Amino acid sequence: MKRSNTIIPQSNPKAGYLAHRAEIDRAIKRVMECGWYILGREVEAFEKEFAAYLGVHHAIGVGNGTDALELALRACGVGSGDLVFTVSHTAVATIAAIELVGATPVFVDIDPKTYTMDPNSLAAALVRPLKGSPKAVIPVHLYGQSADMPVILKLAHRYGLKVIEDCAQSHGAMLNGRMTGTWGDIAAFSFYPTKNLGAFGDGGMVATKDTSLAERVRLLQQYGWRKRYISDIPGGNSRLDELQSAILRVKLKYLNKENKRRNKLAAIYTDTFSGHSLVLPASTAREEHVFHQYVIGTAYRDGLKDYLKQNGINTLIHYPVPVHLQPAYKGRIKVVSSLIYTENAAKRILSLPIYPELSEKEVRFVAMKVLEWFVLKKL
Ligand SMILES: *Cc1c(COP(=O)(O)O)cnc(C)c1O
Protein backbone atom coordinates (compact mmCIF):
# COMPACT_ATOMS: atom_id res chain seq x y z
CA MET A 1 0.00 0.00 0.00
CA LYS A 2 1.78 3.06 -1.26
CA ARG A 3 0.63 6.56 -0.42
CA SER A 4 2.89 8.66 -2.53
CA ASN A 5 1.05 12.00 -2.39
CA THR A 6 -0.82 12.10 0.88
CA ILE A 7 1.12 13.50 3.78
CA ILE A 8 -0.13 12.92 7.29
CA PRO A 9 1.09 15.80 9.43
CA GLN A 10 2.03 15.28 13.06
CA SER A 11 -0.33 18.06 14.13
CA ASN A 12 -2.70 20.20 12.09
CA PRO A 13 -3.84 23.57 13.45
CA LYS A 14 -5.39 24.52 10.09
CA ALA A 15 -7.76 21.56 10.35
CA GLY A 16 -8.79 23.03 13.72
CA TYR A 17 -9.70 26.25 11.93
CA LEU A 18 -11.62 24.53 9.13
CA ALA A 19 -13.57 22.44 11.64
CA HIS A 20 -15.09 25.60 13.17
CA ARG A 21 -14.59 27.99 10.28
CA ALA A 22 -17.94 29.80 10.23
CA GLU A 23 -17.92 30.45 13.97
CA ILE A 24 -14.28 31.54 14.02
CA ASP A 25 -14.80 33.85 11.04
CA ARG A 26 -17.77 35.45 12.81
CA ALA A 27 -15.69 35.95 15.96
CA ILE A 28 -12.86 37.57 13.98
CA LYS A 29 -15.29 39.87 12.19
CA ARG A 30 -16.92 40.86 15.48
CA VAL A 31 -13.58 41.98 16.91
CA MET A 32 -12.44 43.75 13.76
CA GLU A 33 -15.67 45.72 13.52
CA CYS A 34 -15.77 46.53 17.22
CA GLY A 35 -12.60 48.60 16.92
CA TRP A 36 -11.16 47.65 20.34
CA TYR A 37 -8.19 45.30 20.08
CA ILE A 38 -6.37 45.10 23.43
CA LEU A 39 -7.80 44.26 26.88
CA GLY A 40 -11.47 44.53 26.10
CA ARG A 41 -14.66 42.52 26.29
CA GLU A 42 -13.36 39.40 24.54
CA VAL A 43 -10.40 38.73 26.79
CA GLU A 44 -12.49 39.53 29.84
CA ALA A 45 -15.15 37.03 28.75
CA PHE A 46 -12.58 34.40 27.81
CA GLU A 47 -10.83 34.75 31.17
CA LYS A 48 -14.17 34.18 32.95
CA GLU A 49 -15.04 31.22 30.74
CA PHE A 50 -11.61 29.63 31.10
CA ALA A 51 -11.60 30.12 34.90
CA ALA A 52 -15.05 28.53 35.08
CA TYR A 53 -13.89 25.66 32.86
CA LEU A 54 -11.04 24.95 35.28
CA GLY A 55 -12.97 25.73 38.44
CA VAL A 56 -10.69 28.50 39.74
CA HIS A 57 -11.49 32.09 40.64
CA HIS A 58 -8.94 33.85 38.49
CA ALA A 59 -7.57 33.54 34.98
CA ILE A 60 -5.38 36.22 33.43
CA GLY A 61 -4.70 36.22 29.69
CA VAL A 62 -1.06 36.86 28.77
CA GLY A 63 1.13 36.92 25.69
CA ASN A 64 2.24 33.27 25.59
CA GLY A 65 2.95 30.24 27.77
CA THR A 66 6.51 31.26 28.57
CA ASP A 67 5.26 34.63 29.85
CA ALA A 68 2.59 32.81 31.86
CA LEU A 69 5.31 30.78 33.64
CA GLU A 70 7.50 33.86 34.14
CA LEU A 71 4.65 35.95 35.57
CA ALA A 72 3.54 33.07 37.81
CA LEU A 73 7.09 32.79 39.17
CA ARG A 74 7.35 36.56 39.73
CA ALA A 75 3.95 36.66 41.41
CA CYS A 76 5.16 33.92 43.78
CA GLY A 77 8.13 36.11 44.67
CA VAL A 78 10.70 33.88 42.96
CA GLY A 79 13.79 35.80 41.90
CA SER A 80 17.54 35.85 41.92
CA GLY A 81 19.29 33.43 44.29
CA ASP A 82 16.21 31.20 44.40
CA LEU A 83 16.01 27.56 43.37
CA VAL A 84 13.17 26.13 41.30
CA PHE A 85 12.84 22.35 41.02
CA THR A 86 11.68 21.04 37.69
CA VAL A 87 12.34 18.45 34.99
CA SER A 88 14.79 18.53 32.11
CA HIS A 89 12.43 16.47 29.92
CA THR A 90 10.25 19.43 28.91
CA ALA A 91 9.94 22.29 26.43
CA VAL A 92 12.88 24.62 26.94
CA ALA A 93 10.29 27.31 27.81
CA THR A 94 9.94 25.88 31.33
CA ILE A 95 13.63 26.46 32.02
CA ALA A 96 13.78 29.76 30.12
CA ALA A 97 11.06 31.20 32.37
CA ILE A 98 12.96 30.19 35.53
CA GLU A 99 16.12 31.90 34.27
CA LEU A 100 14.17 34.97 33.08
CA VAL A 101 13.27 35.77 36.69
CA GLY A 102 16.90 35.24 37.75
CA ALA A 103 16.33 31.95 39.56
CA THR A 104 18.27 28.70 39.12
CA PRO A 105 16.63 25.52 37.84
CA VAL A 106 17.31 22.32 39.77
CA PHE A 107 16.63 19.31 37.56
CA VAL A 108 14.97 16.19 38.91
CA ASP A 109 14.43 13.00 36.95
CA ILE A 110 11.24 11.70 35.38
CA ASP A 111 9.24 8.56 35.96
CA PRO A 112 10.15 6.43 32.90
CA LYS A 113 6.53 5.23 32.56
CA THR A 114 4.74 8.58 32.55
CA TYR A 115 7.60 10.89 31.47
CA THR A 116 6.52 13.31 34.21
CA MET A 117 8.36 14.38 37.37
CA ASP A 118 9.39 11.48 39.60
CA PRO A 119 8.43 12.47 43.16
CA ASN A 120 11.20 10.21 44.53
CA SER A 121 13.79 12.14 42.56
CA LEU A 122 12.26 15.40 43.84
CA ALA A 123 12.41 14.11 47.42
CA ALA A 124 16.09 13.20 46.97
CA ALA A 125 16.92 16.65 45.54
CA LEU A 126 15.11 18.39 48.42
CA VAL A 127 17.29 16.83 51.11
CA ARG A 128 20.50 17.71 49.30
CA PRO A 129 22.35 20.84 50.52
CA LEU A 130 22.28 23.30 47.61
CA LYS A 131 23.48 26.85 47.10
CA GLY A 132 20.43 29.14 46.99
CA SER A 133 17.00 29.14 48.61
CA PRO A 134 14.49 26.52 47.50
CA LYS A 135 11.37 28.46 46.52
CA ALA A 136 9.20 26.61 44.04
CA VAL A 137 8.57 23.46 42.07
CA ILE A 138 7.25 23.32 38.50
CA PRO A 139 5.73 19.96 37.60
CA VAL A 140 5.04 19.68 33.86
CA HIS A 141 1.92 17.77 32.79
CA LEU A 142 3.69 16.48 29.72
CA TYR A 143 1.93 15.03 26.65
CA GLY A 144 -1.49 15.70 28.23
CA GLN A 145 -0.98 13.60 31.34
CA SER A 146 -1.01 14.92 34.88
CA ALA A 147 2.14 14.64 36.97
CA ASP A 148 1.78 12.86 40.32
CA MET A 149 0.30 15.92 42.03
CA PRO A 150 -0.78 14.45 45.40
CA VAL A 151 2.78 13.36 46.22
CA ILE A 152 4.44 16.43 44.71
CA LEU A 153 2.12 18.71 46.74
CA LYS A 154 2.89 16.85 49.96
CA LEU A 155 6.63 17.30 49.40
CA ALA A 156 6.23 20.96 48.39
CA HIS A 157 4.23 21.74 51.52
CA ARG A 158 6.75 19.97 53.73
CA TYR A 159 9.55 22.16 52.33
CA GLY A 160 7.52 25.36 52.00
CA LEU A 161 7.73 25.49 48.20
CA LYS A 162 5.23 27.19 45.91
CA VAL A 163 3.78 24.87 43.26
CA ILE A 164 3.52 26.26 39.74
CA GLU A 165 1.90 23.84 37.29
CA ASP A 166 3.09 23.90 33.68
CA CYS A 167 -0.21 23.12 31.92
CA ALA A 168 0.93 24.05 28.40
CA GLN A 169 0.15 20.50 27.23
CA SER A 170 -2.69 19.59 29.58
CA HIS A 171 -5.80 21.71 28.88
CA GLY A 172 -8.64 19.66 30.35
CA ALA A 173 -6.46 16.83 31.71
CA MET A 174 -7.39 15.51 35.13
CA LEU A 175 -6.10 13.30 37.90
CA ASN A 176 -8.50 11.72 40.41
CA GLY A 177 -11.27 13.76 38.77
CA ARG A 178 -9.42 17.00 39.49
CA MET A 179 -8.37 19.34 36.71
CA THR A 180 -4.69 20.05 36.12
CA GLY A 181 -4.07 23.69 36.90
CA THR A 182 -6.13 23.55 40.12
CA TRP A 183 -3.73 21.55 42.34
CA GLY A 184 -0.91 23.99 42.92
CA ASP A 185 -0.68 27.66 43.93
CA ILE A 186 -0.81 28.87 40.35
CA ALA A 187 -0.77 27.45 36.83
CA ALA A 188 0.50 28.48 33.40
CA PHE A 189 -1.19 27.62 30.09
CA SER A 190 -0.08 28.14 26.49
CA PHE A 191 -2.36 28.63 23.50
CA TYR A 192 0.36 28.03 20.91
CA PRO A 193 -1.45 26.85 17.74
CA THR A 194 -0.66 23.12 18.14
CA LYS A 195 -1.73 22.85 21.80
CA ASN A 196 -5.03 21.13 22.68
CA LEU A 197 -6.55 24.60 23.00
CA GLY A 198 -4.70 26.55 20.33
CA ALA A 199 -4.93 30.12 19.06
CA PHE A 200 -3.82 31.28 15.61
CA GLY A 201 -0.85 33.11 17.00
CA ASP A 202 0.68 33.33 20.46
CA GLY A 203 -1.32 33.32 23.66
CA GLY A 204 -1.17 32.19 27.26
CA MET A 205 -3.03 32.22 30.57
CA VAL A 206 -2.22 32.26 34.25
CA ALA A 207 -4.81 30.60 36.50
CA THR A 208 -5.07 30.61 40.27
CA LYS A 209 -7.49 30.38 43.18
CA ASP A 210 -5.35 32.85 45.13
CA THR A 211 -6.67 36.40 44.87
CA SER A 212 -3.43 38.09 45.90
CA LEU A 213 -1.36 36.09 43.38
CA ALA A 214 -3.90 36.98 40.69
CA GLU A 215 -3.62 40.64 41.57
CA ARG A 216 0.19 40.46 41.33
CA VAL A 217 -0.03 38.89 37.86
CA ARG A 218 -2.51 41.59 36.72
CA LEU A 219 -0.11 44.28 37.85
CA LEU A 220 2.99 42.65 36.38
CA GLN A 221 1.35 42.01 33.00
CA GLN A 222 0.82 45.71 32.34
CA TYR A 223 3.52 48.00 33.77
CA GLY A 224 2.30 47.63 37.35
CA TRP A 225 -0.77 49.70 36.55
CA ARG A 226 -3.76 49.77 38.87
CA LYS A 227 -4.72 53.04 37.30
CA ARG A 228 -3.78 53.71 33.68
CA TYR A 229 -0.41 55.44 33.25
CA ILE A 230 0.45 55.14 36.97
CA SER A 231 2.85 52.28 37.78
CA ASP A 232 2.54 51.04 41.36
CA ILE A 233 5.22 48.41 40.84
CA PRO A 234 7.65 47.89 37.97
CA GLY A 235 6.09 45.61 35.37
CA GLY A 236 6.15 44.81 31.67
CA ASN A 237 3.74 44.06 28.87
CA SER A 238 2.21 40.65 28.26
CA ARG A 239 -1.38 40.66 27.05
CA LEU A 240 -3.68 38.24 25.25
CA ASP A 241 -5.18 39.89 22.14
CA GLU A 242 -8.89 40.48 21.73
CA LEU A 243 -8.71 38.66 18.40
CA GLN A 244 -7.10 35.53 19.84
CA SER A 245 -9.46 35.64 22.83
CA ALA A 246 -12.51 35.71 20.56
CA ILE A 247 -11.16 32.73 18.63
CA LEU A 248 -10.27 30.83 21.82
CA ARG A 249 -13.80 31.39 23.16
CA VAL A 250 -15.09 29.46 20.15
CA LYS A 251 -12.51 26.70 20.53
CA LEU A 252 -12.98 26.32 24.30
CA LYS A 253 -16.56 25.16 23.68
CA TYR A 254 -15.22 22.16 21.76
CA LEU A 255 -12.23 21.34 23.98
CA ASN A 256 -13.83 18.46 25.92
CA LYS A 257 -15.21 16.91 22.76
CA GLU A 258 -11.86 17.22 21.00
CA ASN A 259 -9.99 15.77 23.99
CA LYS A 260 -12.37 12.79 23.88
CA ARG A 261 -11.62 12.41 20.19
CA ARG A 262 -7.87 12.41 20.91
CA ASN A 263 -8.51 9.66 23.46
CA LYS A 264 -10.40 7.63 20.91
CA LEU A 265 -7.56 7.91 18.38
CA ALA A 266 -5.01 7.08 21.09
CA ALA A 267 -7.01 3.94 21.94
CA ILE A 268 -6.74 2.79 18.32
CA TYR A 269 -2.96 3.16 18.44
CA THR A 270 -2.79 1.37 21.78
CA ASP A 271 -5.03 -1.51 20.67
CA THR A 272 -3.03 -2.00 17.48
CA PHE A 273 0.32 -1.92 19.27
CA SER A 274 -0.55 -4.10 22.25
CA GLY A 275 1.41 -7.33 22.34
CA HIS A 276 4.31 -5.74 20.45
CA SER A 277 7.58 -4.61 21.96
CA LEU A 278 6.88 -0.87 21.80
CA VAL A 279 6.71 1.16 24.97
CA LEU A 280 3.20 2.65 25.03
CA PRO A 281 1.82 5.62 26.98
CA ALA A 282 1.23 4.53 30.57
CA SER A 283 -2.23 5.11 31.80
CA THR A 284 -3.67 4.38 35.18
CA ALA A 285 -7.36 3.92 35.79
CA ARG A 286 -7.72 7.25 37.59
CA GLU A 287 -6.17 9.65 35.18
CA GLU A 288 -7.87 11.50 32.41
CA HIS A 289 -5.19 11.90 29.79
CA VAL A 290 -5.86 14.39 26.97
CA PHE A 291 -3.21 13.05 24.58
CA HIS A 292 -1.61 16.27 23.51
CA GLN A 293 0.92 13.79 22.15
CA TYR A 294 0.81 10.05 21.59
CA VAL A 295 4.36 8.99 22.37
CA ILE A 296 5.82 5.55 21.77
CA GLY A 297 9.22 4.33 22.87
CA THR A 298 11.64 2.11 20.99
CA ALA A 299 15.40 1.65 20.80
CA TYR A 300 15.00 1.68 16.99
CA ARG A 301 13.38 5.10 16.93
CA ASP A 302 15.48 6.80 14.25
CA GLY A 303 15.02 4.07 11.64
CA LEU A 304 11.30 3.93 12.34
CA LYS A 305 10.99 7.71 12.04
CA ASP A 306 12.69 7.61 8.60
CA TYR A 307 10.49 4.76 7.41
CA LEU A 308 7.33 6.62 8.40
CA LYS A 309 8.60 9.74 6.67
CA GLN A 310 9.15 7.74 3.45
CA ASN A 311 5.53 6.70 3.72
CA GLY A 312 4.24 10.24 4.05
CA ILE A 313 3.84 10.16 7.82
CA ASN A 314 5.35 13.03 9.79
CA THR A 315 6.43 12.44 13.36
CA LEU A 316 8.26 14.57 15.91
CA ILE A 317 10.44 14.03 18.97
CA HIS A 318 9.35 15.82 22.13
CA TYR A 319 12.14 16.44 22.95
CA PRO A 320 15.29 15.24 21.18
CA VAL A 321 17.80 16.71 23.68
CA PRO A 322 17.07 17.15 27.40
CA VAL A 323 17.41 20.80 28.40
CA HIS A 324 20.47 20.17 30.64
CA LEU A 325 22.37 18.80 27.61
CA GLN A 326 21.53 21.65 25.21
CA PRO A 327 24.35 24.04 24.29
CA ALA A 328 22.81 27.00 26.12
CA TYR A 329 22.61 25.10 29.41
CA LYS A 330 25.15 22.27 29.41
CA GLY A 331 27.79 22.68 32.10
CA ARG A 332 26.36 26.03 33.15
CA ILE A 333 23.48 24.65 35.19
CA LYS A 334 24.80 22.16 37.70
CA VAL A 335 23.09 18.81 37.61
CA VAL A 336 22.74 17.40 41.11
CA SER A 337 20.52 14.35 40.49
CA SER A 338 20.84 11.36 38.23
CA LEU A 339 18.86 12.16 35.07
CA ILE A 340 19.23 8.70 33.61
CA TYR A 341 15.54 8.23 32.77
CA THR A 342 15.42 11.68 31.21
CA GLU A 343 18.44 10.90 29.03
CA ASN A 344 17.17 7.44 28.06
CA ALA A 345 13.74 8.80 27.10
CA ALA A 346 15.21 11.33 24.68
CA LYS A 347 16.85 8.50 22.72
CA ARG A 348 13.70 6.41 22.36
CA ILE A 349 10.60 8.55 22.18
CA LEU A 350 8.59 9.31 19.05
CA SER A 351 5.41 11.41 18.83
CA LEU A 352 2.99 9.94 16.28
CA PRO A 353 0.40 12.07 14.44
CA ILE A 354 -2.50 13.01 16.70
CA TYR A 355 -5.09 15.79 16.41
CA PRO A 356 -8.89 15.76 16.60
CA GLU A 357 -9.47 15.97 12.85
CA LEU A 358 -7.24 12.99 12.05
CA SER A 359 -9.41 10.14 10.70
CA GLU A 360 -9.54 6.70 12.26
CA LYS A 361 -8.47 5.30 8.92
CA GLU A 362 -5.36 7.47 8.97
CA VAL A 363 -4.53 6.37 12.52
CA ARG A 364 -4.85 2.72 11.45
CA PHE A 365 -2.61 3.42 8.45
CA VAL A 366 0.06 5.00 10.67
CA ALA A 367 -0.16 2.15 13.18
CA MET A 368 0.07 -0.42 10.40
CA LYS A 369 3.18 1.28 8.97
CA VAL A 370 4.80 1.27 12.42
CA LEU A 371 4.25 -2.48 12.80
CA GLU A 372 5.24 -3.11 9.17
CA TRP A 373 8.65 -1.55 9.80
CA PHE A 374 9.33 -3.92 12.69
CA VAL A 375 8.39 -6.88 10.48
CA LEU A 376 10.62 -5.66 7.63
CA LYS A 377 13.53 -5.22 10.02
CA LYS A 378 12.81 -8.61 11.61
CA LEU A 379 12.71 -7.00 15.04
C1 LIG B 1 4.45 25.08 24.63
C2 LIG B 1 5.03 24.92 25.98
C3 LIG B 1 5.43 26.03 26.76
C4 LIG B 1 5.55 27.42 26.23
O5 LIG B 1 4.46 27.97 25.64
P6 LIG B 1 4.63 29.15 24.56
O7 LIG B 1 3.25 29.64 24.41
O8 LIG B 1 5.19 28.54 23.32
O9 LIG B 1 5.54 30.18 25.14
C10 LIG B 1 5.85 25.80 28.07
N11 LIG B 1 5.89 24.56 28.57
C12 LIG B 1 5.55 23.47 27.86
C13 LIG B 1 5.62 22.12 28.49
C14 LIG B 1 5.12 23.62 26.53
O15 LIG B 1 4.80 22.53 25.83
Residue 10 resides in a domain: no
Predicted pLDDT of residue 285: 64
CB of 90 within 6 A of ligand 1: the answer is yes
225 Cα to the center of ligand 1, angstroms: 26
DSSP letter at 180?
T
Quick one: 167 and 46 in the same domain? Answer: yes
Q: Which of 212, 234, 252 is the last residue of a domain?
A: 252
**Residue of minimum CA distance from atom 6 in ligand 1:** 65
Residue 228 and residue 348 share a domain: no
Average pLDDT rounded to a whole number, residues 113-137: 96
Structure confidence by residue, pLDDT tens digits, 133-171: 999 999 999 999 999 999 999 999 999 999 999 999 999
- Residue 222, ligand 1, Cβ within 6 A: no
- Cβ neighbour number for residue 237 with a 10 Å cutoff: 12
Mean pLDDT of all residues in 332-338: 92
- What's the CATH code of the domain at 196? 3.40.640.10
For residues 85 and 72, state if they share a domain: yes
Residue 4 has pLDDT above 60, yes or no: no
**Pair 281, 344 in one domain:** yes
* C-beta of 94 in contact with ligand 1 (< 6 A): yes
Mean pLDDT of 366-374: 97
Portion of the chain with pLDDT greater than 70, in percent: 98
1 Cα: distance to centroid of ligand 1 (angstroms) = 37
pLDDT greater than 70 at residue 71: yes
Q: Is the model's pLDDT at 5 over the cut of 70?
A: no
pLDDT, the chain, mean: 96
Q: Is residue 200 part of a domain?
A: yes
pLDDT of residue 12: 98
Statement to judge: residues 134 and 237 lie in one domain: yes
Task: Compute the distance between CA of residue 40 and CA of residue 329 in angstroms, rounded to an integer.
Answer: 39
| Res. 378 pLDDT band, cuts 50 70 90 | confident
| Residue range 252-276: mean pLDDT, rounded | 96
Indicate whether 183 pLDDT > 60. yes
**Residue 71 CB less than 6 A away from ligand 1:** no
Question: Does the global pTM surpass 0.95?
Answer: yes
Best residue among 11, 64, 66, 206 to mutate for probing ligand 1, ranked by most atoms within 8 Å of CB: 66
Rounded CA gap, 235 and 238, in Å?
Answer: 9
Query: What is the average per-residue pLDDT within 77-86?
Result: 98
For residue 169, the ligand 1 atom closest to its alpha carbon is 15
Regarding the beta carbon of 140 and ligand 1, being less than 6 Å apart is answered yes
Residue 329's pLDDT band (boundaries 50, 70, 90)? very high
* Cβ(72) – ligand 1 distance below 6 Å: no
Where does residue 55 fall: left (phi above 0), alpha (psi -120 to 50 degrees), or beta otherwise?
left
Measure 73 CA to ligand 1 centroid, in angstroms: 15
323 CA from centroid of ligand 1 (Å) = 14
2 CA distance to ligand 1 middle (Å): 36
| Domain annotation covers residue 3 | no
Query: Domain check: are 225 and 292 in the same one?
Result: no
Ligand 1 centroid from CA 59, angstroms: 17
Q: Which atom of ligand 1 is nearest to the CA of 97?
A: 10
12 contacts: CB under 8 Å, gap ≥ 6: 355, 357, 358
Structural domains counted in the chain: 2
d(CA 274, CA 278): 8
Instruction: Give the domain CATH number at 336.
Output: 3.90.1150.10
Q: Based on the domain organization, do 161 and 241 belong to the same domain? A: yes
Do 286 and 184 lie in a common domain?
no
Amino acid at 298: T
Model confidence at 287: pLDDT above 80: no
- Concatenated DSSP letters of 2-43: --SS--B-S--HHHHHHHTHHHHHHHHHHHHHH---BSSHHH
Residue 9 lies in a domain: no
Strand order across the beta sheet in which 204-208 lies: 58-62, 204-208, 186-190, 162-166, 133-138, 82-87, 104-108
* Whether residue 303 is found in the same domain as residue 333: yes
Burial 322-346 (b: 16+ CB within 10 A, else e): bbbbeeebeeebebebebebbbebb
Domain end among 211, 232, 252? 252
Is 8 domain-assigned? no
Closest residue CA from atom 4 of ligand 1 = 65
Q: List the domain range (segments joined by +) for residue 134.
A: 16-252
With a 6 Å cutoff on the Cβ, whether 65 touches ligand 1 is yes
Do 55 and 91 reside in the same domain of the chain? yes
Atom of ligand 1 nearest to the CA of 191: 7
Q: Is residue 225 part of a domain?
A: yes
